[in-house]
Structure 1
Amino acid sequence: MAIKFYGTIGSTSAFRALVGLVEKDIEFEFVPVSTATKEHKSPNFLALHPFGQVPAFQDGDLTLFESRAITKYIEEAYPNKGTSLISKDVKKRAIQTVWGEVEALRYEPTSIKLVWELAVKPKRGLIIDEAIVKESESKLTEILDVYEARLKESKYLGGESFSLVDLHHLPNTHYLMGTKVKRLFDERPHVSAWASDILSRPAWVKVTSMSNK
């Protein structure tokens, strides 16, 4: 059975899983889900994702949700396809796991608030909460200081090779580059070089180009 991916173009979580599929050079059927019409809350979609959020994923009789779980499965199920995204060396993989936790538990919660306030709200004509922006900028500054130190030691956060760690950063970083928060990346040369590197990957360029179709 063919792989099916259910998502909404523009969604950070959908983008995260999508770029994983593209990096792995895996053929799949994209099934658009309209959040505007509440399709993600329909009984049919809730059978795929019980929390009613995108994305959802099917590979034969396997159904998954949560973008990071999807990308990990893709790498483990298709290790010889496309880009290798998890190290086979146990110690290097442990380092990737550490920085993967940093992304999920520190970078994501902070950056998604800034994406919402500075990238999404203006497009919807909503009022920006400057208090949230200020607090989140302060937290992101601390995170990026740690990233700068880390990236002085290795080309990517998880080591010398691009991995799921860096891939998972792509959607939020992409949106933040279009906001005033971009200066926080630019002020840190190693972070800036890393962001430029991952955002210019062909797989990511292909995924973001879907927004223009």
Structure 2
Amino acid sequence: MVLKFVGHSYSSAALRVAVVLHEKKIPFELILVDLAKKEQKTPEFLGKQPFGQVPYIDDDGFILYESRAICRYLAAKYPDQGPKLLPSGHDLRESALYEQAASIELQNFHEYAEKAWIEAILKPKTGAEPNQAVIDDAVATLNDKFDVYEVILSKQRYLAGDELTIVDMFHLPYAARLVEFGCTLMTTKGPNVTRWWNDISSRPSWQAVKDGVLRSEDFILNETS
């Protein structure tokens, strides 16, 4: 049974999963949810994802939500399909460094990038007035965080070491959205951050999904909206 991927074309969380699906070349059936129509709040949807958020996957009856958990599951299930993207689990230190990198992305990047994007892009789209002070504060914090990224990436190729992992790819949706509203940290902060960003953002998997196009000729498409 082909994996069912229930999401939204422009959701950052859905894009996070989509890029891993493409990296791993995992066939899937895409089921798009119309968020404007609140399809994610229907009893049927809430029976699969009780928080009423996208995405979730249905892998032959196994339901899993939360995008980072989904990505870990997919990378672990298909270790030899495409790049590994996760430590083997046999090396305690390698696994610990991966978990360290995962915490860095969530605590030192995602929180601030999301806050800046909500104010700079999402609020104007909904007719709300953006708070420039919030944007400036979030970008200033990211500026300081990327000073540390520059140090880390001066010693290794990727955030968890010299091998690409899903943690690097977790950055893609919101880093691209920083660029969308003119934030240049990804390309001006330092040579190592720039190298890393150019590396991960130029991967064919991200190029396939970055504009909200989750479909591919290699995959099955089933749109509900």
TM-score scaled by length of structure 1 = 0.94
Query: Unpaired runs of 5+ in structure 1?
Result: none
Alignment CA distance shift 1:112-1:106 (3 Å): same
Matching residue of 1:37 = 37
Displacement of 1:40: 0.6
CA distance in 1, matches of 2:127, 2:184: 21
One-letter amino acid of the counterpart of residue 46, structure 1? L
Distance in 2 separating the partners of 1:61 and 1:211: 26
1:126 aligns with 2:128: yes
| Secondary structure of 2:171's aligned partner | helix
Partner of 1:64: 64
1:76-105 deviation per Cα after TM superposition (whole angstroms, max 9, x unaligned): 111121221012233222111101111112
2:126 is equivalent to residue 115 of structure 1: no
Cα distance in 2, alignment partners of residues 9 and 195 from structure 1: 22
State the distance in 2 between where 1:64 and 1:147 align: 31
Query: What is the deviation of 1:125?
Result: 3.8
User: In structure 2, what residue type is equivalent to 1:133?
Assistant: I
Which structure has the highest helix share of the two? 1
**Residue type matched to 1:186 in 2?**
T
Indicate how the Cα distance of structure 1 residues 42 and 139 shifts in structure 2: closer, same or farther if over 3 A, else same: same
Q: For 2:171 and 2:140, how far apart are their aligned partners in 1?
A: 18
Separation of aligned partners in 1, 2:185 and 2:106: 22
* Whole-Å separation in 2 of the counterparts to 1:193 and 1:23: 20
Counting only pairs closer than 5 Å after superposition, residues 123-162 of structure 1 correspond to structure 2 as 123-162=125-164
Query: How far apart in 2 are the matches of 1:167 and 1:37?
Result: 30
Question: Structure 2: any 5+ residue segments left out of the alignment?
Answer: 216-225
Which whole-Å CA distance do the structure 2 matches of 1:19 and 1:211 have between them? 11
SS of 1:177 mapped into structure 2: helix
Percent of residue pairs identical:
35
Residues 144 and 185 in structure 1, CA contact (< 8 A), matched pair in contact too: no
CA distance in 2, matches of 1:15, 1:185: 21
CA RMSD of aligned residues (A): 1.7
Q: Kindly indicate whether the alpha-carbon contact (under 8 Å) linking 2:115 and 2:135 is maintained by their aligned counterparts in 1.
A: yes
2:27 alignment counterpart: 27
1:152 aligns to what SS in structure 2?
A: helix
| Mapped partners of 2:185, 2:160: distance in 1 | 23
Counterpart amino acid of residue 2 in structure 2: A
CA distance in 2, matches of 1:212, 1:148: 31
* Stretches of 4+ aligned residues off by more than 6 angstroms: none
SS of residue paired to 1:48: coil
Determine which of 162, 165, 168 is the counterpart of 1:166.
Answer: 168
1:203 and 2:205 matched: yes
Cα offset for 1:70? 0.1
Q: Which has the higher contact order (CA 8 A, sep 6+)?
A: 2
Q: Which amino acid aligns with 1:43?
A: P
Following the alignment from structure 1 to structure 2, what is the Cα–Cα distance between the partners of residues 13 and 183?
22
Q: CA deviation at 1:206?
A: 0.6
Q: Is the 8 A contact 1:119 1:176 kept in 2?
A: no
The residue identity in structure 2 corresponding to 1:187 is K
* One-letter identity of the residue aligned with 2:34: S
Relative to structure 1, is the Cα distance of residues 183 and 78 closer, same or farther in structure 2, using a 3 angstrom cutoff?
closer
